[in-house]
């Protein structure tokens, strides 16, 4: 069992004929994801993956023709806001945006619009999601996770792989792994995913990987304290980061003394969360 | 990307915000001439991208054009918090009765912009924010609707602005909003916005931060970039699309992914060392980019050991190994290195690096401990 994606996911890939779109479509198909369509404006009528996946000019036609219920976005940052809105208007229920570097004001407008529509967005600037053994939407490497009962939610990409890899090394598997992305304005936050893991009967424990910047980890701590019955283990990246410097992710910056790793760890620990000193310590805390 | 005061104010003026008459000067003679044009009584203001200019003596009042020239000479020779002053703004001096704060920024938690105003504007606004936050009035803006007239009026009323200035204040607030939106700013701030003795609202100081991710559609703003605030390594890194921040430690690190890069730095610290930098080569980096990254790390003479931590996904470990070898061919170095490759093509990568005689590690903890030990003088 899982959250958000599973065997019933019917995926459409926005930007399927681009370098990254095509490569990762191949990876997702190899994993067993049911990729039903792709969209690239101007390339409608073509087929990719040895003639198995049809390409459409618009998302609307792709959804109407194939019954896609989930979309994943691999288009460049300047076109990505449009791609998200197009997906929301086409009636897709879940949108996963991998694209990095979308201007924050664009994301604020997009977020305001999709909230009104009631559509769920995961990302942007995220590795996507993985339900081991069932379905992969995004770019998480195919071989690093096994099925299990640990739910994982993370603001980071490769650090998440590191944790999945460490879990596998300890014989622990994942129910679903959700990368929510490292941008200051995104679609789905820790709270949303923690709530879903709490309700998912097959998730027994949760790993939350946060980083410096913003206050989402503090809010998650409050939620865990009030609402969660399942044990949560966490790691916060950026304990050695200086203030005022943006650590790669647009969202990873300590501003005006807020958003430090110390504050986040304190909030989590007082909510009963076990916080690992380093990512490889996580399996032993579970 | 931060803009200078004079750049920010020029942008605000285009959107209907009143600013003092003035121009920027790079020499004392220019400063003198501008001061003469403005009637002699001027303010000479250092243009550097740090706060606390006034307290550092970088903002001074001149009563004559001669004094303006002298002050410009002094200020142009200054360094403020490590940054050289290369330009001064010569502004007509204003007499005013009150200082107001007005700013727009992104409210991360609310996922929307917020406009803030305070009757307690001026140099101590940060103290006001910390001690008496209730004196700063905040109104969130729907990004699809924009700042509305009534919201601007609410602000004017909340900060007890005289009724006859409401309309003018509203125009300024909406002008600031337009500038914030048009420039993809993450901060647009006027502090102070003063009420002059002849009852006008004028923006004496201005500040803007622009979203780096949006610069692709603002080539005019990109040209305003001040390279003085960045060091050689940071400029070089941007050229290659690397995310690099220099720090004070002795262990250089090269990692793919921002979160993992931070975790690697944390691990170095946990193992008793200090990272020399944050460096994310990004996803899918090719050999050329990796080579540039290693040259940047090795240019830092404090670096006593280098740690590579690559978790291959989109990034291929063999490609990273090729980049490392290419860089080592150009830059001959005796700095010892520790390498950890996991994931896509890790085995091919390890084989390529076998001849380079680097220490290897299986886990992140082991990699960090080895790098710290080697930096402290242990042999491979």
Distance (Å, whole) CA B16 – CA B175: 6
Please state which CATH number belongs to domain B96-222.
Answer: 3.30.470.20
Q: Which CATH class is domain A11-122?
A: alpha beta
pLDDT for residue B261: 96
**Tokens 């921040």 map to which residue?**
B245
Helix (H, G, I), strand (E, B) or coil at B78: coil
CB B269 within 8 A of CB A239: yes
pLDDT for residue B364: 94
**CATH fold for the domain made of A144-285:** Rossmann fold (3.40.50)
pLDDT for residue A34: 97
DSSP B287-340: HHHHHHHHHHHHH-TT--EEEEEEEESSS-HHHHHHHHHHHHHHS-----EEEE
Helix (H, G, I), strand (E, B) or coil at B343: strand
Strands B2-3 and B206-210: antiparallel
Residues of chain A positioned with their CB less than 8 A from the CB of B268: 240
Q: Which CATH class is domain B231-375?
A: alpha beta
* Interface contact B342, partner A, CB < 8 A: yes
Mean pLDDT over the full length of chain B = 93
pLDDT for residue A1: 61
Residue B115 CB burial class (10 angstroms; 0-12, 13-18, ≥19): buried
Residues of chain A positioned with their CB less than 8 A from the CB of B250: none
Beta-carbon separation of B245 and A159 below 8 A: no
Q: Say which of A144, A162, A182 has its CB closest to residue B258.
A: A182
Q: Where are the domains of chain A?
A: 11-122, 144-285
pLDDT for residue B125: 86
B81: confidence class by pLDDT, cuts 50, 70, 90: confident
Q: What percentage of residues in chain B have a pLDDT greater than 70?
A: 100
User: Edge-to-edge, what's the strand order for the sheet holding B42-46?
Assistant: B22-25, B88-92, B42-46, B59-62
pLDDT for residue B203: 98
Residue range B155-164: mean pLDDT, rounded:
96
Residue B379, pLDDT > 80, answer: no
For the stretch A3-14, pLDDT in tens is: 999 999 999 999
Distance (Å, whole) CA A245 – CA A252: 8
Distance (Å, whole) CA B168 – CA A108: 28
Strands A70-73 and A94-97: parallel
Residue range B281-306: mean pLDDT, rounded:
90
pLDDT for residue A245: 83
Beta-carbon separation of B270 and A139 below 8 A: no
Residue B68, pLDDT > 70, answer: yes
Measuring CA to CA, which residue among A196, A200, A152, A201 is closest to residue A172?
A: A152
Same fold: A11-122 with A144-285: yes
B287: confidence class by pLDDT, cuts 50, 70, 90: confident
Would you say domain B21-92 falls under CATH 3.30.1490.20?
yes
* Interface contact B263, partner A, CB < 8 A: yes
Distance (Å, whole) CA B281 – CA B271: 23
Cβ contacts of residue A246 below 8 Å, gap of 6+?
A252, A253, B245
**B79 noted as active-site residue:** no
pLDDT for residue B380: 65
* Interface contact B110, partner A, CB < 8 A: no
pLDDT for residue B35: 96
CA atoms within 13 A of residue B307's CA, in its CB half-sphere: 40
Q: Which run of H or E residues covers position B175?
A: helix B166-182
Using CA atoms of A29, A35, A40, A42 in order, give the dihedral in degrees to the nearest 10.
100
Residue B357, pLDDT > 90, answer: no
Residue B100, pLDDT > 90, answer: yes
Q: Which run of H or E residues covers position A71?
A: strand A70-73
Question: What is residue A255's DSSP assignment?
Answer: B
For the stretch A29-40, pLDDT in tens is: 999 999 999 999
Residue B20, pLDDT > 80, answer: yes
Name the B residues in 65-104 with CB < 8 Å from any A CB. none
Chain A's closest residue to B363, CA to CA, is A280
Neighbouring-strand partners of residue B208: B3, B188
Q: Where are the domains of chain B?
A: 21-92, 96-222, 231-375
Give the residues of chain A that fall short of pLDDT 50. none
Q: What percentage of residues in chain A have a pLDDT greater than 70?
A: 99
Distance (Å, whole) CA B338 – CA B375: 10
The answer to whether the bond into B192 is cis (omega within 30° of 0) is yes
Of B41-45, B144-148, B227-231, give the lowest mean pLDDT range. B227-231
Which of B6, B101, B240, B244 is an active site residue?
A: B101
């Amino acid at each position: 069992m899982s959250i958000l994606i599973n065997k019933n996911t019917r995926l459409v890939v926005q930007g399927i004929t681009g370098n990254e779109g095509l490569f990762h479509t191949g990876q997702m198909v190899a994993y067993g994801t049911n990729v039903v369509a792709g969209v690239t404006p101007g390339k409608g009528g073509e087929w990719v993956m040895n003639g198995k996946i049809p390409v459409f000019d618009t998302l609307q036609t792709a959804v109407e023709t194939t019954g896609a219920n989930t979309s994943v976005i691999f288009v460049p940052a300047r076109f990505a806001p449009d791609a998200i809105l197009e997906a929301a208007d086409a009636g897709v229920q879940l949108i996963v945006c991998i694209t990095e570097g979308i201007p924050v004001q664009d994301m604020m407008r997009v977020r305001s619009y999709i909230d009104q529509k009631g559509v769920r967005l995961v990302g942007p600037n995220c590795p996507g999601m993985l339900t081991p053994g069932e379905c992969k939407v995004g770019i998480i490497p195919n071989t690093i996770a096994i099925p299990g009962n640990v739910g994982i939610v993370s603001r980071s990409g490769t650090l998440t792989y590191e944790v999945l890899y460490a879990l596998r090394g300890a014989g622990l598997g994942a129910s679903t792994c959700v990368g929510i992305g490292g941008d200051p304005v995104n679609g789905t936050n820790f709270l949303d995913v923690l709530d879903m893991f709490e309700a998912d009967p097959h998730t027994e424990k949760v790993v939350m990987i946060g980083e410096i910047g913003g206050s989402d980890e503090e809010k998650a701590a409050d939620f865990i304290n009030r609402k969660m019955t399942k044990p949560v283990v966490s790691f916060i990246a950026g304990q050695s980061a200086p203030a005022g410097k943006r650590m790669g992710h647009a969202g990873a910056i300590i501003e005006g003394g807020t958003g430090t790793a110390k504050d986040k760890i304190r909030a989590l620990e007082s909510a009963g969360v076990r916080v690992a000193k380093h990512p490889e310590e996580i399996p032993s805390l579970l | 990307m931060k803009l200078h005061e004079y750049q920010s104010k020029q942008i605000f003026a285009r959107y209907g915000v009143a600013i003092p008459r003035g121009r920027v000067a790079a020499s004392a003679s220019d400063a003198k001439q501008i001061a003469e044009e403005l009637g002699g009584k001027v303010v000479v203001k250092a243009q550097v991208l740090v706060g606390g200019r006034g307290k550092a003596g970088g903002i001074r009042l001149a009563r004559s054009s001669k004094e303006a020239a002298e002050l410009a000479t002094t200020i142009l020779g200054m360094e403020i918090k490590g940054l050289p002053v290369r330009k001064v703004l010569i502004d007509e001096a204003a007499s005013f009765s009150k200082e107001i704060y007005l700013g727009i920024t992104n409210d991360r938690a609310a996922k929307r912009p917020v406009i803030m105003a305070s009757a307690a504007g001026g140099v101590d606004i940060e103290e006001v924010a910390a001690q008496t936050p209730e004196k700063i009035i905040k109104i969130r803006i729907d990004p699809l609707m924009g700042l509305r007239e009534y919201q601007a009026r609410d602000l004017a009323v909340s900060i007890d602005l005289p009724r006859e200035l409401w309309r003018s204040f509203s125009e300024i607030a909406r002008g600031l909003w337009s500038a914030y939106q048009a420039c993809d700013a993450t901060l647009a701030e006027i502090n102070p916005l003063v009420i002059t003795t002849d009852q006008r609202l004028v923006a004496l100081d201005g500040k803007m931060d622009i979203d780096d991710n949006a610069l692709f559609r603002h080539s005019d703003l990109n040209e305003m970039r001040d390279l003085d605030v960045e060091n050689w390594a940071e400029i070089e890194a941007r050229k290659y699309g690397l995310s690099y921040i220099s720090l004070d430690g002795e262990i250089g690190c090269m990692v793919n992914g921002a979160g993992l890069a931070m975790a690697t730095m944390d691990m170095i610290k946990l193992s008793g060392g200090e990272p020399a930098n944050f460096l994310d080569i990004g996803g899918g980096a090719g050999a050329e980019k990796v080579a540039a990254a290693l040259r940047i790390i090795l240019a830092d003479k404090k670096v006593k050991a280098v740690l590579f931590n690559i978790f291959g996904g989109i990034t291929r470990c063999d490609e990273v190994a090729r980049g490392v070898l290419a860089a080592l061919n150009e830059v001959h170095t005796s700095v010892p290195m520790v390498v950890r490759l996991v994931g896509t093509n890790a085995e091919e990568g390890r084989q390529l690096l076998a001849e380079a005689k680097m220490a290897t590690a299986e886990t992140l903890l082991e990699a960090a401990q080895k790098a710290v030990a080697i930096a402290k003088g242990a042999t491979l």
